[in-house]
Amino acid sequence: MRKKIRVLIIDDSASIRQTLTHVLEQDPDIEIMAVASDPFVAARKLQEEVPDVITLDVEMPRMDGITFLRKLMAQRPIPVVMCSSLTEAGSQTLIQALEAGAVDVILKSKIGAADSLSDDAIRIREIVKSASHARLPTVRRAAGTVRSASANGPAKKLTADAMLPPPTGRAMAKTTEMVVCVGASTGGTEALREFLEELPANAPGMVIVQHMPEKFTDAFAKRLNGLCEVEVKEAVDGDPVLRGHVLIAPGDKHTLLERQGARYHVSVKTGPLVSRHRPSVDVLFRSAARCAGSNAMGIIMTGMGDDGARGMLEMHQAGAYTVAQDEASSIVFGMPKEAIAKGGVDRVLPLDQIAREVMLTQQKF
């Protein structure tokens, strides 16, 4: 028998503990090791047994979740998924949690509404499963999201066909402007920060899909904008893709690259989960293959699952230059590994060399 993923749930709300237990136990690969009403109760349980993953509430009596997370990461790193309400203040707090070492984020509103067959329940289970695969160095880095399975085995997995047709195969003429499309998941929040901080203000226009919940992508984009020379914002439908600007796909919406004349812009749309994600890297990459062809560069970074692997192959076949983050610098070498296995990757690079590769590639246009 395959070893189950053992989870410790820490939350002061009995109803959240009960609902989260129900949702997670729908997956045969997950078992609830224990539940705790606050960090002090959790600390006693950790002395008896160590879980594979912890789900951790942010606001709790006696000790808040961020403080407990920092203490945990300093003493005994364990993959932690934070739980928070869907508020602007909650978004800012969760960004701090990711910086402190949390692997991912679960929205409390989704826990409360989730039933065993909903998309939200599927995503919650897969966030926890993804977290169990995260490689935790002694000093933690941060992270993003992942794939899925339902109570009765894997849920039906839609491809990018659900959002747009495959590329036509007609190669596009090279222009003087390059556009960069990036996909990331678990480990991606910190990887993207490191990558974007190295880019100069004249970097090519860029669109990024990072698996994150709604609202949190806006807080994430604002945080990056304060750290980087390039301008970073959450994408809005119709936004132009301009040199020196980076657009982050909003959580719970697909973001597609489109072209009108010589200019690129994004289309932000609702739709089903694709490769079990929304936003999906496969959707962004396919749209780039269709409208940009050899004018595009595709980058796939750390993350669990295979979202982006098919789309990267389509970009490669359309003439785009494609790069994957290497295993040594990835928190989870899932998405890059799958893209490499499909034959869609031109070059594999460590994280600290990808920004330089972007600028070298832009010089060829």
Which residues are the active-site residues? 185, 211, 307
- Label residue 364 exposed, middle or buried (CB < 10 Å: 0-12, 13-18, 19+): exposed
Q: How far separated are the first and last CA of the chain, in Å rounded?
A: 54
Under 8 Å CB-to-CB from 290, ≥6 apart: which residues? 164, 165, 167, 168, 318
Under 8 Å CB-to-CB from 356, ≥6 apart: which residues? 198
- β 245-248/179-184 pair status: unpaired
- β 254-260/263-269 pair status: antiparallel
DSSP string, 74-136: HHS---EEEEE-SSHHHHHHHHHHHHHT--EEEEHHHHHH--TTSHHHHHHHHHHHHHTT---
74: number of Cβ within 10 Å: 13
